[in-house]
Structure 1
């Protein structure tokens, strides 16, 4: 059955008039009448009754109406899906990401994305979360990966939760300890990074909350530099777990728990303009992020017992 026959029937039912249906479809009245007759002949049923006051549906027409609407909508949805698929195969994806997200989280996600959609051109801009929000609102990026924030023109999709962990060189005295106090950390020689980042404020706030002024041995302008200094034994640092997961696994750094400090976490989210939502590559990328988030939450739940049984590697509550 040709979809246009059902679309014509729906317009006639909507307006109760062949003339108005013809106007809405940009067709002549004889063309609309011809389509209606063709549909009635195909189904072997009279669908409408004409009168001087317009057109009304027969019992058969009323029975057909919801099914016709479903068929037409399904076809339209299919056409949209195919357009999105074609766009994904050859479109452009514009991403804005906070520095730590861009460096430590995004590469793994983009590896999966480019494997699935090798024809998509990708552009990534890195800046702090507030600047990424501005890029999104200016339509300079389609998706932002930032710390959790709110804006009336933005929709938010959770990605993952990161936390600050105390890391030390394996030769550091803290390495042999089951746990240390925050006061001890304050005297250990702290390596800080990027005064303009929220991580810096989270670190400072942790000590301020306990009335401590940590001894700082140096300040760097990025996480990677701070991490390298700790790897050389030049101090200790509170760094995002996502940034040091590889070094902890390779034993070039060790994570040490702090017994009297709250867990310092930061939610990372994907943001996009509020409304119909992005299409093409951006929509596919959001679907991938949603799948990643679900898998991460499942892994965290399944791994909780083993983490508790292992050597502490987080800042406990």
Structure 2
């Protein structure tokens, strides 16, 4: 039974490709005697001479020429197999994603089907929590990546994933629908359902009403965007909401945006975080998918 060492075949192919034992040794990060030993070992395995040596010059023999295409094919097959094995090994069977509740509601359901198409053999586990909790879980490797509010941590890679504009939304027959310009005073006397997720951006919404003689007419405060949205649809009040959570209701004609110049430019930024150098394939795929989702 013939057993051929793949390293010996590699040395043989490199000598022919580089034109000399010395250059082959440099390319393979080996000493020249090591390359010579591998060629001699291969010649013993095949029971033939592969090269004629004339001083520093080497010439491939007829036997070597006949063996060369098989050697190249063997080496190529081995390298492809090694790449395939390492790729499979690098992809986890389970990929754990930590995210805020809003991301779990509005981004993950659109992201996961596309991610599954990229990595069909991977299973996914989703964990929700507030930004600080998710940051801690990524640091402790309880989850692989996290979708959080705009944060920067020296031990984490943090990439901007999505910026969600905050606007004022009303129900379909509210008197503000179609208004070209509203004053802060007009908004302040309306019943308000105030959604606040704890991000610093919401302080800018509060500041819009700071200089009024009377505080805004906040009827209900909640940290749940789904509740706030349904209360507006139920005509309990109007609300400042992130655009991502109201896409469907706007399409269905249940909610209407109203421009408030004082709140232009206020948005919620979602970042994708991970430990440095980890899960690069997933991060690249998610960022590519994110470009598609944010353009919808």
Question: When the two structures are superposed, what TM-score results if normalisation uses the length of structure 1?
Answer: 0.68
Deviations 1:4-52 (A, max 9, x none): 234796589646475xx6xxxxxxxxxx754133679987476997xxx
Deviations 1:108-139 (A, max 9, x none): 01022234444322110111112111000010
- Cα RMSD for the two superposed structures: 3.6
The residue that corresponds to 1:35 in the other structure is 38
The residue that corresponds to 1:203 in the other structure is 202
The residue that corresponds to 1:102 in the other structure is 104
Q: How does 1:15-26 map to 2 (within 5 A)?
A: 16=31, 18=33
Unaligned runs of 5+ in 1: 22-31, 50-57, 61-71, 301-317
State the 1:76 CA deviation.
6.2
The residue that corresponds to 1:150 in the other structure is 152
The residue that corresponds to 2:138 in the other structure is 136
Q: 1:248 aligns with which of 242, 247, 250?
A: 250
Give the 3 Å change call, closer, same or farther, for CA 48–108 of structure 1 in structure 2: farther
The residue that corresponds to 1:290 in the other structure is 287
State the 1:92 CA deviation.
0.4
The residue that corresponds to 2:222 in the other structure is 220
Distance 1:254 1:43 in 2: 80
Which SS does the other structure have where 2:236 is aligned? coil
Q: How does 1:17-166 map to 2 (within 5 A)?
A: 18=33, 33-37=36-40, 44=51, 79-85=82-88, 88=91, 91-166=93-168
Distance 1:229 1:113 in 2: 33
State the 1:207 CA deviation.
3.1
Q: How many residues align?
A: 259
Give the 3 Å change call, closer, same or farther, for CA 294–228 of structure 1 in structure 2: closer
Asked if 1:167 is matched to 2:166, the reply is no
State the 1:159 CA deviation.
1.9
Unaligned runs of 5+ in 2: 15-23, 60-74
Aligned partners of 1:203 and 1:238 also within 8 Å: no
Distance 2:31 2:268 in 1: 57
Give the 3 Å change call, closer, same or farther, for CA 11–216 of structure 1 in structure 2: same
Aligned partners of 1:162 and 1:240 also within 8 Å: yes
Distance 2:194 2:174 in 1: 17
Aligned partners of 1:93 and 1:122 also within 8 Å: yes
